[in-house]
Amino acid sequence: MATRFQTLDELVESLRARGVRDVRLTAKVATTTSPGGKQVTFRGRLRVSADLGDGEQAEYEEQVLRYVTETKAPELPVSSKVAPALRTAQAALAQQLQAYRGNYRAAMQAARSNLTARLKRVGVNVVEAED
């Protein structure tokens, strides 16, 4: 069962009480494209989770500032056999990724570093989610 904490301080307090020093940090980004396809909105979330033992989990989630960007859809080389809907989906994906790379990734990285630093200051080790 996961207990969700409203503030980082509350999470840290709970970890200390149980002698847990390691947490896992994961990031998620949701992107939405406007119907016209020009505007892309990014909403990021950082999740700190810890294993408290006995199958119990502790979680804290932080929102990263929403970002809206406008971008041109890139031209993609798509074969004539492929349906127009497929081309549209590919272009939308490429467009969202392009805007993400250009604008939001830096914001996510900064938020991640900030949260990691705050946790390290209070003696909590951050393990980035990896393979």
Partner 1 sequence: MRITIAVHGHFKSTSAVGNDEITFALPDADGLRVRDLLDALNIVEEEIRQVSYNGRPGRLDEAVRHRARLEFFPRERRR
Give me the residues that bind partner 1 (CB under 8 A), please. Answer: 26-33, 44, 76, 82-83, 85-86, 88-90, 92-94, 96-98, 100-101, 105, 108-109, 112, 128, 130-131
- Name, in order, each residue with C-beta under 8 angstroms of 27's C-beta and a sequence gap of 6 or more: 44, 45, 46, 47, 108, 112
What is the nearest approach in angstroms of partner 1 to the Cβ of residue 97? 4
The strand ranges marked E within the chain are: 2-5, 22-33, 39-53, 56-70, 125-128
Q: Which is nearer to partner 1, 19 or 35 (CB)?
A: 35
Q: Which is nearer to partner 1, 52 or 64 (CB)?
A: 64
